[in-house]
Structure 1
Amino acid sequence: MSATSTSIKLQKALDSLNLAQREAAKYADGAMLILAGAGSGKTKTITTRLAFLIDEVGIPAENTLTLTFTNKAAAEMRERALALLEHNFNVPPLLCTFHKFGLIFLRFFIHTLGREANFVVLDSDDKRAILKTLCDKKLQPAQCDYYISNMKNAALSPLEAFSYAHTDETKQMNRIYAEYERYLESKNLLDFDDLLYLTYKILSQDSNIAQKMSEQYQYIMVDEYQDTNEIQDKILKLLCVAHNNLCVVGDDDQSIYGWRGADVRNILNFQKAFDEVKVVRLEENYRSSEQILNAANALIAHNQNRLGKHLKSTKGTGADIRLIENDNESAEATFLAKDIAKLLAEGVNPSDIAILFRVNALSRSIEEGFNRARIPYKLIGAMRFYERAEIKDILSYLRLIVNPHDDYSFLRIINRPKRGVGKVGQESLEKLALSKNLSCFATLETYPDQSTQALGKKAYESVMELVSHIKCWQNLNDLSDLIESMQERIIFTFSKLDEVDRQGNIEEFYGMFGDYVIHNPTNTLVDFLNDLALASPTDEVIGEAVSCMSVHMAKGLEFKYLYVIGLEEGFFL
């Protein structure tokens, strides 16, 4: 190894690994399964391996692909790996989530499906709202949402899914699935599941593209492999058609996302799916004490289908696990508030404390207790900033600039702020647009007389002013100018009760948008909208406060003080 500053950093990183970690980091060619227990240094191992492949083995950075499940994890890995390499890459190594990879892939190849590359990704609320317009009284949008998501994650089109629809209800949901897909295609929209579904569809249908992508990404690593679902596993196998260089890192004991499609069989059967798989177990735990690990090992030993490992602590015995019994939720909340208030008085940072629960409903009593005790807290996974009505209104304006034929976004803001458009007028415009087989936007421009009749003269003139603004904003190449113009032209009015909060949220959004433009000067408005759609619930969490969240939201996070509430058989377990 040459004695450059980069190789010296890499050597130090390798020297800091334990034997199992180093064995994994220095293994280059062929399939490898790294069984990594919680707190066993898997991120350090993955990033060191990536640096080793590039710096020592000589693999071009652009020929590597590292996939994980959260933006936060991807950003941390990217930062650590680049710190070891310190190269000025023409094309840096790609570290991202599965869905971000799908987004990048579809930008280049979605045209093979007859779709345009300037698509916009819907968020979950917008998806539900569209489904609400398609569902009849017998079906709830949530039912159809769940059905459609399951079908896409099983890589089934509406036509393919129909053969599995054996009841009247599933046949009806499949019909809605087909209508929903036609709507998305007509408006050049994708939902979150499409980022994987359409990626798989292209790779599986076009062997030349699959071969090209496999040759592009010759060394692939996947974090949290136990959380992959069927379609993600299929995509990985298609990306490996030209090689066998797939390294997966995971822990079958941490498979907790079965309810959203994760299939633990992917990791359990990995050694059968690939030839001559090297298996490395990371069993030294650098996070928890012996007391905690002994309890965890004893509990997980009851799992029947597991590959097996035994975590050992590097931190000594540690304090005993406290078991506190309370008569009810209120008493539990009172105890927590007093106990945490004591920690805060001793100088503990509130961001070092977390409360975990099995279901979000348990947070209510905790919130009440913390409010009474004036303990700062944040409820992770509750309504997110971008789900607030006023923020979704602005996002609808932005989506219209990208795609003025997005009727859902148009109808959301046609009367926000007020333009004199009533429910009857809006429905009349929708019917007119449907009869002309055009979007509402195009109908207003193409059929002014009939649109005036539908809306009324005054409302039509007001809405056409909105149309004029949208067309003007489409011609602005500088996103900073767009922000300034939107702030000047879109004046929302709110009730006095919530005016300060909502106006403050809007100002915060524009400030955040401005920061995005500064830090991503080459990105487009489409990039901004899709980056927001890919943001995970924990990406927004800021400030010093006690974290309250479900156990599913807590995966991968670390805290010095942890309280698990409602730990009762039949309820938590």
Structure 2
Amino acid sequence: VAAEIEWAKVSMHTPDTYAPAAENRDMPAGYDIRTMQRLYQSYEDLKADRHLIDFEDVLLITVGILEEDERIAAAVHAQYRQFVVDEYQDVSPLQQRLLDAWLGSRDDLCVVGDASQTIYSFTGATSRHLLDFPARYPGASVVELIRDYRSTPQVVNTANRLLAARRPAPGSTPDTWATPLRLVSQRPAGPEPTWNEYPDDEAEAAGVAVRIRDLIEDGVPPHEIAVLFRTNGQSQAFEAALGDANIGFQLRGTERFFNRPEIRQALVQIRSAARTVGADRADVPRQVRDMLHSLGYTERAPRADSATRAKWESLRALVALADSMAARAAEQEESFTLAGFAQELERRATTQEAPVVDGVTLASLHSAKGLEWDAVFLVGLSEGLMPISFADTPDAMDEERRLLYVGITRAREHLVFSWSLSRTPGGRPSRARSRFLDAVLPPAPRTPARRRPVR
């Protein structure tokens, strides 16, 4: 419901104008449009009664101020001259209206975007502003950035083939699929992407853990490896498999590092102890370990459920930070105290500068946007998950293809595709691999249920 209200507001629909605009949208929680409209109105009324605004209100109110008060608009236009907008393919109508208000009559504007990476249309984002930019500003220079400095030719060519295989489908909204850029890698050649087919989800997770262990033994740091999936619900099996293999991991898309309960508790203990010991130069890493022991930290990783392991990984990151700061202080012949460590944690908490957790990243494809790793495992690539089952229109199917494209282009060197034939061990092998893989992998076998996992 909150996401639907957000979509309405960034699309600039009030409760009064919401119903006609949402005629073809899937309503949350099985509500009908009128019920959703009433919920939207109730939400706005409650905010007004409590004198509160939300994030979309910040944008709406700013637009209102600039459009209704010429003096404020003139002051903004005089102070801010040039504008650069990144990820322009994901701008919402409300954000575009705010940008127009900031600009006024000027055209000192540079935008950067890739329509092939539009993956947030469900939140109101649209690539239309990017695609129409040359028509709106006829004098604009268009620079095609086709050189890819991140990925090997093998990864880049796989991504190019995926987009090139798209064919227009009846019912597609005109001009929503831009002709994709054909990227050219600037890196030396690397390994070819590989693929694995598994009998069930549990086998897939275990197989991925084995492949990850191989990469780590070959020298790839765990934090340079990612497992990417379509939905967060797929994470559990891989958390369990990595835990069984004693491979550390971190979940992306959950709460921020310094907002986690165990980290907040750790900061309280460290601050309290720092006030007690003052400038004592005792072994700070040992002090930190002793304090975190009461919160569940041990020198050896626990073989427990995924939640316990994730908590341990967070605490281990604090221990590793204390170790690295102590080593750096010793190298530079500087003092290092618990009070100094507490101050550094306060600074990092304020700026949300989380320490590096040396574990494999587990993330949804959406939350992986903008990130990159040496090795990427794209998992669960079966029909119903990729593309997702509720992608039942040509436009939605195009967005699923773009989402997989984003996943592929997160990899610098190693890229692995995998899927399973059934959900549970011993289940009927009723799944088919994703249709998108036909463009990038060899043809699917006719009797996949009888095949062993291939590498």
One-letter code aligned to 1:227: D
- The answer on 1:149 being equivalent to 2:12 is no
CA distance in 2, matches of 1:560, 1:286: 13
Given the superposition, is the C-alpha separation of residues 170 and 205 from structure 1 closer, same or farther in structure 2, using an over 3 Å criterion? farther
CA distance in 1, matches of 2:217, 2:22: 59
Task: Give 1:547 deviation, angstroms.
Answer: 0.4
Q: 1:382 aligns with which of 254, 258, 277?
A: 254
* 2:131 counterpart residue number: 268
One-letter code aligned to 2:246: R
1:79-120 per-position Cα deviation (integer Å, ceiling 9, x unaligned):
xxxxxxxxxxxxxxxxxxxxxxxxxxxxxxxxxxxxxxxxxx
SS at match of 1:552: coil
Q: Where do residues 75-474 of structure 1 align in structure 2 (5 Å cutoff)?
A: 143=1, 145-161=2-18, 169-303=32-166, 305-384=177-256
More helix by share: 1
CA distance in 1, matches of 2:64, 2:355: 35
Instruction: Give me the identity figure in percent.
Output: 32
| Larger RCO (CA within 8 A; separation ≥ 6) | 2
CA distance in 2, matches of 1:517, 1:301: 48
Please give the TM-score of this superposition, normalised by the length of structure 1: 0.48
CA distance in 2, matches of 1:231, 1:338: 46
CA distance in 2, matches of 1:188, 1:392: 30
Given the superposition, is the C-alpha separation of residues 313 and 551 from structure 1 closer, same or farther in structure 2, using an over 3 Å criterion? same
Q: Which runs of 5+ in 1 are unaligned?
A: 1-142, 394-479, 485-498, 521-527
1:39-92 per-position Cα deviation (integer Å, ceiling 9, x unaligned):
xxxxxxxxxxxxxxxxxxxxxxxxxxxxxxxxxxxxxxxxxxxxxxxxxxxxxx
Q: Which runs of 5+ in 2 are unaligned?
A: 169-176, 266-270, 276-293, 297-307, 319-338, 388-455
* 1:556 counterpart residue number: 370
| C-alpha contact 2:220 2:374 (8 A) present in aligned 1 | no
1:412-458 per-position Cα deviation (integer Å, ceiling 9, x unaligned):
xxxxxxxxxxxxxxxxxxxxxxxxxxxxxxxxxxxxxxxxxxxxxxx
One-letter code aligned to 2:102: L
Given the superposition, is the C-alpha separation of residues 359 and 196 from structure 1 closer, same or farther in structure 2, using an over 3 Å criterion? same
Given the superposition, is the C-alpha separation of residues 387 and 187 from structure 1 closer, same or farther in structure 2, using an over 3 Å criterion? farther
| C-alpha contact 1:381 1:553 (8 A) present in aligned 2 | yes
Taking only aligned residues, the RMSD between alpha carbons, in angstroms, comes to 3.9
Given the superposition, is the C-alpha separation of residues 298 and 164 from structure 1 closer, same or farther in structure 2, using an over 3 Å criterion? closer
CA distance in 2, matches of 1:170, 1:387: 36
| C-alpha contact 2:235 2:362 (8 A) present in aligned 1 | yes
CA distance in 2, matches of 1:390, 1:157: 41
1:333-362 per-position Cα deviation (integer Å, ceiling 9, x unaligned):
111111212222333311111111111111
1:199-222 per-position Cα deviation (integer Å, ceiling 9, x unaligned):
223233334433432332210000
1:204-248 per-position Cα deviation (integer Å, ceiling 9, x unaligned):
333443343233221000011011111111111121113101100
CA distance in 2, matches of 1:212, 1:307: 40
Task: Give 1:150 deviation, angstroms.
Answer: 1.9
CA distance in 1, matches of 2:212, 2:17: 54
Given the superposition, is the C-alpha separation of residues 545 and 392 from structure 1 closer, same or farther in structure 2, using an over 3 Å criterion? closer
One-letter code aligned to 1:190: I
One-letter code aligned to 2:4: Y
Task: Give 1:388 deviation, angstroms.
Answer: 6.0
Given the superposition, is the C-alpha separation of residues 260 and 185 from structure 1 closer, same or farther in structure 2, using an over 3 Å criterion? same
CA distance in 1, matches of 2:38, 2:224: 49
One-letter code aligned to 1:379: L
CA distance in 2, matches of 1:515, 1:162: 52
- The answer on 1:545 being equivalent to 2:359 is yes
Task: Give 1:269 deviation, angstroms.
Answer: 1.1
| C-alpha contact 1:165 1:174 (8 A) present in aligned 2 | no
One-letter code aligned to 2:164: A
1:460-481 per-position Cα deviation (integer Å, ceiling 9, x unaligned):
xxxxxxxxxxxxxxxxxxxx9x
Given the superposition, is the C-alpha separation of residues 185 and 388 from structure 1 closer, same or farther in structure 2, using an over 3 Å criterion? farther
Given the superposition, is the C-alpha separation of residues 235 and 559 from structure 1 closer, same or farther in structure 2, using an over 3 Å criterion? same
CA distance in 2, matches of 1:191, 1:292: 41
One-letter code aligned to 1:232: Q
Aligned length: 313
One-letter code aligned to 1:555: K
Task: Give 1:382 deviation, angstroms.
Answer: 3.0
Given the superposition, is the C-alpha separation of residues 325 and 171 from structure 1 closer, same or farther in structure 2, using an over 3 Å criterion? closer
| C-alpha contact 2:11 2:124 (8 A) present in aligned 1 | no
Task: Give 1:192 deviation, angstroms.
Answer: 2.5
| C-alpha contact 1:155 1:200 (8 A) present in aligned 2 | no
* 1:20 counterpart residue number: none
CA distance in 2, matches of 1:245, 1:567: 43
CA distance in 2, matches of 1:320, 1:173: 49
Task: Give 1:519 deviation, angstroms.
Answer: 4.8
| C-alpha contact 1:165 1:171 (8 A) present in aligned 2 | no
Task: Give 1:180 deviation, angstroms.
Answer: 2.5
